[in-house]
Chain A
């Protein structure tokens, strides 16, 4: 409230001060009051924008007429030149006020843009810090293991040698995982044109499950994507990418042995795939955050925290959406909805 009223108060005050000074100097400088009042308008515009500029203009106009135009101390206008003075004041005041207010708005936009750019830079720095950590840590382990194998201080036991070789391989795998994810994310962010073809949803879900099956381990699986579903037109590669990342996330964040269910349906306008788990679930407040890049809300997993970000970006790349709901199994349910673009014209209509 105070913040909004202050510029108007400044406008009124500046006109009052200008008037007070002008009343003193009026006897020796006749044109001075009008100029001083214009300065008050300009200041009000710079500080408060259009509204205060208008208030200052009006106050200034009345002050000019009341104090300085003859006859003084009345708003009455008798001298033929007075209306011209007043109108000229009004025009100049409005021009000055508008110009300054516009300048002020431009300045505000510029600083808002700068703040936004700074925030983006901060986010980038943070991402870069994570990337640099995730790259350097495995590289460090690899380099030290190799150096030790090449120049051991004392002859290494066979067990130690194997251990070091194991470290090198595991850390290299971690790097591969990270780099692939980072590249996939970059590719999706650069924007790609979906390649929509006729596909059978069931065989894609089944193929993805065959491939990422090992991360689900012994979790009992319900697979309800019938091979009798009608064909649909969508980008199978992007759906594959989204579904694999969701399933990998389920594999990492739910306890071993808990059930997982995959349900797929084809609607005339869209394809719907649901992955339900019985893990800890994702509270509503975090449902947007888990899709953030480099977001690791819990320990576990060797990923860079890009999996779900990739899943969502891949879904959105073909105009779909990836949502999180409560699962009937007690954990989280990921819902993948992708447009079923049956005719090429439908793409243009969207």
Chain B
């Protein structure tokens, strides 16, 4: 959110009814809205208008939504929210791996969409602000000192566990795929080591969570990845 100006949203969908109702919903909540009906126009519009958030439908004619995501990520870090009628986990993973920030399944309620937009804007702002300390309930992560405390008690993490926690916590409320987490924690080449990832996450939860089998901070998105819930 730059200064006082209301955030600028680019909606990409080939259905004019969806665009019309979304526009009404978003404008009534104070957002400035632009729309594009296909991939190439969306990419042009992103370059020209520099939106604060992009709402992207996956099923676009011609240039597919996932490809739009990938191309956009070549030069932009703008938050991308995928809105899709496709519900299978593999499509979700594909979009997230291509660089989407979040994924909402159509149909959705306006409240849900607005909440996700606010979360995306917050994450983006936090990334710009580069706060050195993350606080989530009793969990405090000091990114400078690489120190983690739970309810004031210091927790000793291995370097891999710390990396996992850091990447999850710096992306609050965002689903990170198995591949993304493995690349961060173990480096490229280990993207298939899912059993290792499960073990690291279990260890991390045992050190942080009050009830490791019913985690509040590091939550599972079955068949997709993990998400850090700051208000856990």
Contacts and interface: CB of A to CB of B under 8 A. Distances in A.
Q: Do A and B originate from a single complex?
A: yes
Interface stretch (B29-37, B75-83, B157-165, B213-221): B213-221
B87 A180 contact: yes
> Which bucket holds chain A's interface residue count?
20 to 34
B89 A237 contact: yes
Contacts of A215: none
Contact of A204 (B87, B202, B222): B222
A195 interface: yes
B214 A223 contact: yes
B198 interface: yes
Interface residues of B, number: 22
Given A206-B213, A226-B213, A235 B221 contact: no
A208 B198 CA distance: 17
A208 B194 contact: no
B205 interface: yes
A240 B223 contact: yes
A269 interface: no
A58 to B, nearest CB: 66
B222 A237 contact: yes
A208 B214 contact: no
B107 interface: yes
A227 B205 contact: yes
* Interface-central residue, B195, B198, B223, by most chain A CB under 10 Å: B223
Contacts of B219: 207, 210
Nearest to A169: B109
Contact of B213 (A210, A225, A239): A225
Contacts of B125: none
B123 to A, nearest CB: 21
A60 to B, nearest CB: 68
Contact of A198 (B87, B198, B220): B198
Interface string B209-232: 000111100011111000000000
B213 A207 contact: no
Contacts of B147: none
Contacts of B87: 180, 183
B215 A203 contact: yes
Contact of B220 (A197, A204, A231): A204
A225 B88 CA distance: 26
A195 B202 contact: no
Contact of A195 (B90, B199, B205, B220): B90
A206 B216 CA distance: 10
* Interface-central residue, A197, A227, A237, by most chain B CB under 10 Å: A227
* Interface-central residue, B88, B206, B219, B220, by most chain A CB under 10 Å: B220
Contacts of B220: 203-204, 206-207
A236 B213 contact: no
A180 B106 CA distance: 10
B206 A227 contact: yes
Nearest to B194: A198
A235 B214 contact: no
Given A197-B194, A223-B214, A227-B213, A207 B221 contact: yes
A227 B88 CA distance: 26
A95 B101 CA distance: 77
A202 interface: yes
A65 B62 CA distance: 85
A176 interface: yes
Contact of A202 (B88, B90, B195, B213): B213
A227 B222 contact: no
Nearest to B215: A206
Contacts of A239: 222
B119 to A, nearest CB: 17
A207 B198 CA distance: 14
Contact of A176 (B88, B107, B212, B222): B107
Nearest to A202: B213
Given A198-B195, A200-B202, A206 B214 contact: yes
* Interface-central residue, B90, B202, B213, B219, by most chain A CB under 10 Å: B213
Contacts of A180: 87
Contacts of A197: 194, 223
29 contacts: A183-B87, A195-B90, A195-B223, A197-B194, A197-B223, A198-B195, A199-B198, A200-B198, A200-B201, A200-B202, A203-B198, A203-B201, A204-B220, A204-B222, A206-B213, A206-B214, A209-B214, A210-B219, A223-B213, A227-B202, A231-B199, A235-B223, A236-B222, A236-B223, A237-B88, A237-B222, A237-B223, A239-B222, A240-B223
Ranked nearest first, the 5 interchain pairs of A and B with the lowest CB-CB distance are A237-B223, A198-B195, A207-B220, A203-B220, A227-B213
Given A197-B194, A199-B222, A206-B220, 17 more contacts: A172-B107, A183-B87, A198-B198, A203-B201, A203-B215, A204-B222, A206-B214, A206-B215, A207-B220, A223-B213, A225-B213, A226-B213, A227-B205, A235-B223, A236-B222, A236-B223, A240-B222
